[in-house]
Structure 1
């Protein structure tokens, strides 16, 4: 049961400004030494003074958006530096419908938190360089590190992965490459070979987007600022309207650092090919957000993956030798002018197939599927420009939790945050974040956002208000090891206020409530560590959370 409920956490703040096809979106991490009591005081101060005080403390004096600072620019050689900082604060009353969150003690046993309060901080200094050689190619490279800490009680998973105020500094990216302009079939393309540790994402990151998991001593579990895969690397061909990648990469896993919660170390090789149409003035070949429409085919083969008993019968079991294929699409796809459909109607989606005939980790093979389908409409003719979408997400599952062929979907390198959606593919800020598995689960989501014509600090900044509803159910309750219970996990309604000063500075405040179904209460009971008294399981849980991001 434990293996089935461990979920790869990849939540990142909404404001990922650098959303390139294989670019690094901003993440978040923490590095700070603080007593638990001091952390609680700091967090309660943030929650008490609210969004406006957080914003003023974060922003300081308003300055225009700017790129990285140039340190050297001579004879075609440019070296730039940058710094990302971010932080988050949370209070979760009646967490996990009353079962609580359990922090392991060094002396053994657990400390139970019925209400969880915690925070995260991170900093990411970075250097990047470019040498325009004048010989028909450029040499590029980048290096960065992330320092992070989690404060207070630690994250609110049923067994907290970041309790005890962990702190760390680890290498993030370290890559070098060659970039060459080429002309194929009469067009203009850019050919790039990039080797080493690097962030890499396909489209919105539903399948490939996160190479490093943030938990345990790494810290910053919710903000999840780490992205980099280890090499060898990636070969990119960026043209218009076709772009493609060939990649051979490996996830960065370390169960000693991550207290046994990490995903299997996975080496994989594959390719993706995208047809896209640019937005006006956009460069969809390298920037995902610049695509008005796209269709992508992705395939990869797992060359090697951990097959230790740690992963037996878990949703992440039996990766070794797996073949994964996906078809994804999105944007304005209907050329119908009536009702503004060609301008305002969008459809996004992704269908993933996972197949493996090699037995391992207790299974005889794998045949699993995951998908989402998301139509949306922007009422551009109305005040406040309302945007509404419905998303159906299905992380496939099977009836048998052990043995036979595994049908439970493995999210692999899921990352969310490359589009406008608060929370991304995590089905809610309460249940989807801390309790529900991302396997054997279906989610009906309805999302409404509006942009009021107000400016808090200067013309050009933006406030966005949102309501986010999630209806979660298990596909097969027996697939999660449960018996004699209904499928419904929960209903959840969250509200958010997002503020963007510019592409380098943003913040948000959110709150919500969740209401348990029979499967939600059963999952809460099942997640209580062995030997602990069973708390009274209730019908509701809540959250208040805030976060900020700043790029220098």
Structure 2
């Protein structure tokens, strides 16, 4: 995960996108002390969201109106060691809550409140100590931190934040389900070699303390090559165990699971274009499962508002385990659809998704976007039929460096309702969903 120890400009904030900013708590920092060898910064991010869904997905009628919020606050620092590189570290607390009815899927009930550490990690970078590996060619870190592999298609963070609405509250993580107030894995050890250009790779160990993830423990390795046209990468992930007290039969298959993937991202040498793909294979006790996607897009830089058009096709086999994927490059990755991916399903398993995205910048500090998703369930049988379509319209307005407002309206139309094999209570009519999120980063 890239670490930011400086204040970002307004265009950078818009480039991150709100959904990325929520998962990158160190993207904003206020300098407290700085000299030639030492820096100390204060981290602060406050986010509040108001949500309304006219339909529910937990078997109850009447829709839901709820509010979520969190404040993330802490310190980051670096200490130079001369020719021996540098030390760095971060400690961030998070206070979070949900109010009102709780979310439309019933994961929260509106009574969640808690304050806990999220990130608490330290690390060492090699500086010029190993010239063959480049500047900071060795980066070793450990503790509570976010781990992301590639663009988060398999491993993005530990961002599922269940509340008291399920499992008699045993999975409660303190509210802010949609905003995903907490992202860090509980225990990690990460070794990165070779920097970010040319040939580079990493070895990782991480363990979740998230009961909704059955406290999964995994090891991983990556090998990547980056050049001007883009990056090609290989990933291997091995499951080391789960906590049987919280694991479903499906999650127990993570123990001993092996995952292999080939991925790529870049412009392939075409100005204003962007492409990405990943093909992943899960080898587990119940058999092999596959997931993959292809994506291509183009920014029409010479047109007014510089519109960017993207198409993506993704497919997840019937028993694919979505593991730790999450919001990475903005809305739609890898929660595909604000209603479907957060409340109604599908949840990146047993489905194929066609996605079309369009965004434009009428002003430097304003991005407008439209997202369309078409979902098809691969195998119904005993599974829910989650065929449907969703259109999301949103704006990201950075009023200044310390205030971002993001309204969104979603129209979700399932093929089936709860009474005939779907998940939406009260039939298969179109659900009108709205949210307004206000972020205050420093």
Query: TM-score category by the smaller chain?
Result: 0.7 to 0.9
Alignment partners' CA distance in 2, 1:140 and 1:219: 30
> Map of 1:237-386 to 2, 5 A cutoff?
237=193, 238-254=195-211, 262-277=212-227, 293-308=230-245, 310-312=247-249, 314=250, 316-333=251-268, 335=269, 342-357=270-285, 365-386=286-307
- TM value normalised by structure 2: 0.86
1:110-129 aligned at under 5 Å gives the runs 112-129=60-77
Where do residues 128-147 of structure 1 align in structure 2 (5 Å cutoff)? 128-147=76-95
Please say if residues 318 and 366 of structure 1, whose CA atoms lie closer than 8 Å, have aligned partners that are also in contact: no
* Equivalent-residue separation in structure 1 for 2:246 and 2:28 (angstroms): 47
Question: Does the CA-based 8 Å contact 2:290-2:317 persist in structure 1?
Answer: yes
Q: Deviations over 1:298-326 (max 9, x none)?
A: 111111123458502x4x34110000111
Q: Is the 8 A contact 2:142 2:188 kept in 1?
A: yes
Residue 118 of structure 1: how far off its partner (Å) = 0.8
Deviation at 1:434, TM superposition (A): 0.8
Equivalence map 1:116-195=2 (5 Å): 116-157=64-105, 160-181=106-127, 182-185=129-132, 187-195=134-142
Please, what is the CA RMSD of the aligned residues? 2.6
What does residue 233 of structure 1 align with?
189
State the Cα deviation string for residues 191-225 of structure 1 (Å, max 9, x = none).
11111111111122111111252111411100113
Q: With CA pairs under 8 Å and 6+ residues apart, which has the higher RCO, 1 or 2?
A: 1
Q: Is the 8 A contact 1:268 1:301 kept in 2?
A: yes
Residue 15 (structure 1) aligned to one of 15, 18, 24: 18
Tell me if the contact between 2:20 and 2:327 (Cα under 8 Å) persists in the aligned partners: no
Alignment deviations for residues 104-137 of structure 1 (CA, whole Å, 9 cap, x no partner): xxxxxxxx34221111110000211211122522
Alignment match, 2:397: 499
Give the superposition deviation at 1:395.
1.8
The aligned counterpart of 2:151 is 204
Q: CA deviation at 1:70?
A: 2.9
Q: How many Å apart are 1:347 and its aligned residue?
A: 1.3
Match of 2:326 in 1: 415
Matched, 1:514 2:442: no
Q: Deviations over 1:438-496 (max 9, x none)?
A: 210111111111211x4xxxxxx42111221111110001151x5xxxx6611222211
1:548 counterpart = 2:433: no
TM-aligned CA distance change 1:511 to 1:277, over 3 Å: same
Q: Structure 1's 468 and 75: CA in aligned 2 closer, same or farther, altered over 3 A?
A: closer
State the partner residue of 2:369: 466
Q: Is the 8 A contact 1:390 1:446 kept in 2?
A: yes
Cα deviations across residues 322-378 of structure 1 (Å, max 9, x unaligned)?
A: 001111211201x3xxxxxx1122211111111024xxxxxxx23111122111111
Q: Which whole-Å CA distance do the structure 2 matches of 1:393 and 1:15 have between them? A: 23
Given the superposition, is the C-alpha separation of residues 114 and 317 from structure 1 closer, same or farther in structure 2, using an over 3 Å criterion? farther
Of Structure 1 and Structure 2, the greater strand share is in: 2
Structure 1: which 5+ runs fail to align? Answer: 1-12, 28-65, 103-111, 255-261, 279-291, 336-341, 358-364, 398-407, 455-460, 528-534
Provide Cα deviations, 1:271-322, integer angstroms capped at 9, x if missing partner.
11222235xxxxxxxxxxxxx621111111111123458502x4x3411000
Deviation at 1:265, TM superposition (A): 1.3
Check whether the contact 2:395–2:407 (CA below 8 A) recurs between aligned residues.
yes
CA distance in 2: counterparts of 1:519 and 1:299, whole angstroms: 39
Please give the alpha-carbon distance, in whole angstroms, between the structure 2 residues aligned to 1:74 and 1:320.
47
Is 1:223 matched with 2:179?
yes
Structure 1 distance, partners of 2:419, 2:65, is 22
Q: Is the 8 A contact 2:259 2:281 kept in 1?
A: yes
Contact preservation (8 Å) 2:416, 2:428:
no
User: 2:274 and 2:419 mapped to 1: Cα distance?
Assistant: 36
CA contact (8 A) 2:187 2:206 kept: yes
What is the count of residue pairs matched by the alignment? 415
User: How far off its partner does 1:431 sit?
Assistant: 2.6
Structure number with larger C-alpha Rg: 1
Residue matched to 1:478: 381
Residue in structure 2 matching 1:87, options 29, 39, 48: 48
2:168 is aligned to none
**1:374 and 1:94 mapped to 2: Cα distance?**
31
Aligned mate of 2:32, from 63, 71, 75: 71
User: CA offsets per residue over residues 56-100 of structure 1, 9 Å max, x none?
Assistant: xxxxxxxxxx9522334467332221111111111111334xxxx
Unaligned runs of 5+ in 2: 1-15, 164-171
Aligned-partner Cα distance in 1 for 2:207–2:246: 21
